[in-house]
Chain A
Amino acid sequence: MPKTIMTVDDSASVRQMVAYTLREAGYDVVEACDGVDALAKIDSATYNLVITDLNMPRMDGITLIKELRIKPKIRFTPILMLTTESQSEKKMEGKSAGATGWIVKPFKPEQLVTVVKKVIG
């Protein structure tokens, strides 16, 4: 059974790029456009990984990570955050909120797949 990944990003282009790349790599992908949307969709399936952007309207990535970590179902699920080079302090903040790791934007599709493979195989 293919693994299921949720990608959360307010930028449609980034989200689609992520979704496309991961589907090509053989994963199932569910898209959400911000933290609130992600929380609404999170119970609908069993996810193996969540990839979230940090800067988003309504609910930002850090808050989302904290929210997800208190859900028993998601408590131990890997969460990757998308950061830019200039957001390193966010990287740390995200880590202490419970993120598993990070992917630095801009990234190439194969880099994304490498990191995802690293985390969930």
Chain B
Amino acid sequence: MIDSLQQAFIEETKELLAELEITLLAVEDAPTDSELIAKLFRALHTIKGSSSMFGFDDIALFTHDIETAYDLIRNGKLGVTKHIIDLTLLARDEISNMLVNTGSHTNINEENTKKIIESFREIVSGYNKTEKKQTKDAVELQSSSNNKSSEKHHHFHIRFIPGKDLFLTGTNPLMLIDELREMGSMVLSAHFDKTPDFIMLNPEECYCYWNIFLKTTKTLDDLQDVFIFVADNSELTFENISNEIPKDFEIDFTKLQNIISQNAQNNTNDFRSILKEYFSVQKQEMQSEINAPKKQAQASNGHSEADSVSSIRVSSEKLDELVNLVGELVTIQATLSQVAISNNNNDMISISEEVERITWSLRDSALNIRMLPIGSTFSKFKRLVRDLSNELGKEVELSTDGAATELDKTVIEKLNDPLIHIIRNSIDHGVEAPEERIRVGKSSMGKVHLSASQSGGNVLIKIIDDGAGLNKEAIREKAIKSGIISETTEMNDTELYSLIFAPGFSTAKKVTSVSGRGVGMDVVRRAIEGLRGSVQVSSELGKGTVITLKLPLTLAIIDGLLVKIESDHYVLPLSSIEECIELSEEDIKKAHGRHIVNIRGKIIPYISLREIFSIKTNRPKIEQVVIAKINNHQVGFVVDQVFGQHQTVLKSLGKYYKNVEGISGATILGDGTVALILDINKLTENEEIIENNF
């Protein structure tokens, strides 16, 4: 229980820290944007507030002075400087460290935190000194304006569903409601629909819950403070619905309470919709007297508020579970269709078609839920680019487009590290130092551009820099030196460029802290291939480099090629397959037993899946070779029969078989049989190892 709460806190704080970073970088560009600054303050305040609640007192303590500084900034008493932003970014990193290193303080650099706190204290005390010099008039003016702002009314819809064990902690929920009542005017509705039948009723448990509408001058923090002792085992939502309330409208609380009491006895939705209806009717009445343009503005305001509350947070396991279940449903539905057709029952066929239609749209929407815009990942790199260019003494500007392009959540998560590697490489090797850039006639500011776009079932992510470009000669030389190719190997540009992804390859003249250890790009390619994607490089010397990542939209379904060996079905990923050809006994004889085929004059090695899976029965007279492209090389896979394209829901093999090499998962076919999904990269790798050993 405690662990899961802490975990929730850590997750939430990580998100806040990410938001903090993005906002900080945005503030750097717009130092006077009060909304952004308010956002910064809120993030810091929340971090400070909740961290002490969850046992991260060091974070609370550390954040306190930073929060003080931002309080001054928020109130316009201090200006934002680069120094402050730098410090806050450092502080953000420290908080992130503290979050990871709970309990033991081993990895926390106490000197760093001390320095940061002292710097913030200096900033704050610097202000306090000038503050004293201010004239009395100014102070008075300020306090009067403060009063005014605090008089602003907020309207909250509060939903309080106490945990069943509320009474056992000695809490009287009515005290909490009374406390709220003292904060302003309120309308209340108590709900008893969760109360079980008398025979099941446990008088020690709390079944009642409340919906509250409160008009108050207090802030959300104040409201949350009321529930501080019960927050961790109650369901609590606070929704600021001020936008729904017509301006200058005097709410008649007695009347509203009557309406609520009569109509909203049963559930939350009623309460909320009654409020909505009540205010929108009032609004219409008032607005019919006001001119049209103003009305429009208000309507759009209300809309954005509604947008912000119309999303809910769901754990990704629940989504996985949903996708999994939908996968099962798709399978069952396929069986149903088959049965319906084979029974030749027209009524059943029409029903099964209906089920099919719904199942497929259900599958599409379930998969769609897992899709996230890639923008959040992109914005993380702003910080990376800023830090890297500072470190390397280069001037680099990061621009992005296509941030709204959506990708599966898992893909996005796994994309983070490869992208970091590529961007590091672009800045370190690609973009030249400012003097060098000026010498070759470029502007001193280098450019790195990230772009994302959708193309069919794939998403293309491009990392474009306007740096020196790849030096073909240097790559070739280096590859020969490290024994990756021989001096006589002939290669086209694409093949040559793809050498930078070979293990142990690095052309950098010296090893910097950023890159040059020759492990980076190798890891990138493997990570991308792990996502069933591919990497491509194009470059022009002196002009720059473009690295293109091609990724599947989702990992949950796979476009495959369904094949059969003996009586077993297998699926090969369609994305890497080029063509299928026949392999006759004669062809095998011609090759003198070696596993090669001749396709239009090109010799291509193949792997006999029959041999790999030790299927001992006789092979058919004519087999099929599926030609796939792996790491820019063509490899064939020999099977008995090719059925064609097959879109399937990917299922894991479970705990015991997940480490079986060469099999990436399984899928259930329409008739209920299982087909294994082959990991052709791994199969090829294993085969190469065996060959090299002989």
Contact = CB atoms under 8 A, between A and B. Distances in A.
Interface of A: 69, 75-79, 85-86, 88-89, 91-93, 95-96, 98-102, 118-121
B171 A100 contact: yes
B57 A88 contact: yes
B261 interface: no
6 contacts: A78-B170, A85-B57, A88-B54, A88-B55, A96-B1, A119-B175
A79 B2 CA distance: 20
Contacts of A101: 171, 228-229
B168 A76 contact: yes
A100 B232 contact: no
A92 B5 contact: yes
Contacts of A99: 169-170
Contacts of B172: 78, 119-120
B286 interface: no
A121 B175 contact: yes
Nearest to B103: A89
B52 interface: yes
B168 A96 contact: no
Q: Most chain-A CB neighbours within 10 Å: which of B52, B170, B178?
A: B170
Given A100-B229, A118-B226, 13 more contacts: A76-B168, A78-B172, A79-B170, A86-B57, A88-B55, A88-B57, A91-B55, A92-B55, A95-B169, A98-B170, A101-B228, A101-B229, A121-B178
Contacts of A86: 57
A85 B168 contact: no
Nearest to B179: A118
Contacts of A92: 2, 5, 55, 232
A82 B204 CA distance: 26
B580 interface: no
A88 B232 contact: no
Interface string B54-89: 111100110000000000000000000000000000
A72 B61 CA distance: 40
A110 to B, nearest CB: 15
Contact of B168 (A75, A88, A89): A75
Nearest to B2: A92
Nearest 5 pairs of A and B residues by beta carbon: A101-B229, A88-B55, A78-B170, A100-B170, A92-B2
B2 A89 contact: yes
A69 B55 CA distance: 25
Contacts of B603: none
Given A101-B229, A119-B175, A76 B54 contact: no
A78 B175 CA distance: 12
B503 to A, nearest CB: 46
Contact of A95 (B61, B178, B232): B232
A88 B53 contact: yes
A91 B171 CA distance: 16
B170 A76 contact: yes
A119 B228 CA distance: 12
Contacts of B55: 88-89, 91-92
Interface of B: 1-2, 5, 52-57, 60-61, 167-172, 175, 178-179, 204, 226, 228-229, 232-233
A101 B5 CA distance: 17
A75 B5 CA distance: 25
Contact of B175 (A75, A85, A91, A118): A118
B171 A78 contact: yes
Contacts of A89: 2, 55
A93 to B, nearest CB: 7
Contacts of A79: 169-170
Contacts of B60: 85
A25 B204 CA distance: 31
A116 to B, nearest CB: 11
Given A86-B57, A121-B175, A98 B2 contact: no
A100 B232 CA distance: 12
Contacts of B171: 78, 100-101, 119
A102 B232 CA distance: 13
A120 B53 contact: no
A75 B178 CA distance: 23
A85 B52 contact: yes
A75 to B, nearest CB: 7
A102 B170 CA distance: 12
Contact of A93 (B2, B204, B228): B2
A98 B169 contact: yes
Contacts of A119: 170-172, 175, 229
Contacts of A78: 170-172
A25 B226 CA distance: 21
B57 A120 contact: no
Nearest to B56: A88
A50 to B, nearest CB: 9
B382 to A, nearest CB: 34
B428 to A, nearest CB: 43
Contact of A100 (B2, B52, B56, B169): B169
A101 B178 CA distance: 17
A98 B605 CA distance: 70
Nearest to B5: A92
A34 B168 CA distance: 22
A22 B478 CA distance: 81
Q: Most chain-A CB neighbours within 10 Å: which of B60, B168, B204?
A: B168
Given A85-B57, A120-B175, A76 B2 contact: no
B509 to A, nearest CB: 52
Nearest to B176: A118
Contacts of A69: 168
A91 B6 CA distance: 13
A105 to B, nearest CB: 13
Contacts of A85: 52, 57, 60-61
B57 A77 contact: no
B619 to A, nearest CB: 65
Contacts of A77: 170
Contacts of B1: 96
A112 to B, nearest CB: 15
A91 B50 CA distance: 13
Nearest to B233: A95
Nearest to B53: A88
Nearest to B229: A101
A121 B172 CA distance: 10
A77 B172 CA distance: 9
A81 B2 CA distance: 17
A73 to B, nearest CB: 12
Contacts of A75: 168, 204
